Amino acid sequence: MAEGQIRQSLSGFYDIYSDGKMYRTRARGNFRKRKITPLVGDRVKFDSSSPKEGYILEILPRDNALTRPPVANIDQGVVVTAVAAPEFSTNLLDRQLIALEVSHIAPVIYFTKTDLIDDDRYQTFETLAVGYRKIGYPVCLTREPFASTGLDQLRDTLAGKETVIMGQTGAGKSTLLNHLSPELTLATGEISTALNRGRHTTRKVSLMPVANGLVADTPGFSSYDTLTIDYRELGQYFPEFLNVASECRFRGCVHVNEPGCAVKDRLAAGEFMQSRYDNYLQLLTLLKNQKPIYNKKK
């Protein structure tokens, strides 16, 4: 019995990387009975008689798991964010950051399309980047799009980690990957069509070696998934609010109308970003008005 990591899944086969070699395996029948699906990124125990034949025997405990893309044990998510075309919104960016925080995945922000804005507009993004770095998020922002300084910063961030790349359609995810790893030559827009040819849609998910790390090749992690958290928990996913919440006068303070609120004090002092607080309030209202989902799938 050996241990390894699932690097690719395709039509019921799982390619496992172990000690420098790849082994093609299937999942044991009892996984299906127990409704357990092995995921790309899973650390597993497996048995194989040859590199082409083997069986997964056990899935080791996961740190986290996503449904879109279906991957496990992800360390970080790079949020690829265009500064223009599609139009930039702090609301969308914050929702993506929250989606990552809820999944216990460390966010990284990468700004694209900086050639489409003038110097004045670029200054507002410089200010924004400072705000997000202060929270603790790594931010890649360069005046020239895909400048080597930003790419080198991102390569350092990717090294030794497992990463998902996410962002709106048109934000430049494939272009970014091509700049990071030219040998991949991901034709923008061609990947999805190639995978969807023919009647049988091939569900291929894989982790690709990029910049001494592994990157899930399936974008698709979005912030449009309905957040299924209680509105009272929302503040936990804003790291800067969470850091000072213990100083609020009331336990369980939701930072709206309560007196003695440390979050609102910091906001008034200009220490927190107004856009973050505005987006927090908007999401809080959305979550409050959400109908409870009783048959929520675990």
Please enumerate, by residue number, every residue annotated as part of a binding site for Zn(2+): 248, 253, 255, 261
CB 68 within 8 A of CB 37: no
Q: Which of 34, 53, 41 is nearest to 17 (CA)?
A: 41
Residues of each annotated binding site: 112-115, 167-175, 248, 253, 255, 261
Q: What is the dihedral of CA 256, 261, 262, 263, to 10 degrees?
A: 0
Q: Which of 227, 232, 220, 202 is nearest to 164 (CA)?
A: 220
Question: What's the Cα-to-Cα distance from 83 to each of 23, 29, 170, rounded to whole Å?
Answer: 42, 48, 11
- Please provide residue 209's backbone torsions phi and psi, each rounded to the nearest 5 degrees: -70, 120
Helix, strand, coil: what percent of the chain each, to 5? 35, 25, 40
Q: Which of 229, 225, 223, 222 is nearest to 287 (CA)?
A: 229
Can you tell me which residue has the tokens 């399936």?
218
- Please provide residue 3's backbone torsions phi and psi, each rounded to the nearest 5 degrees: -115, 145
Kindly give the pairing relationship between strand 13-18 and strand 213-216.
unpaired
Cis-peptide, bond into residue 138, ω within 30° of zero: no
Instruction: Give the dihedral sign, CA 186/192/198/204.
Output: positive
Residues of each annotated binding site for GTP: 112-115, 167-175
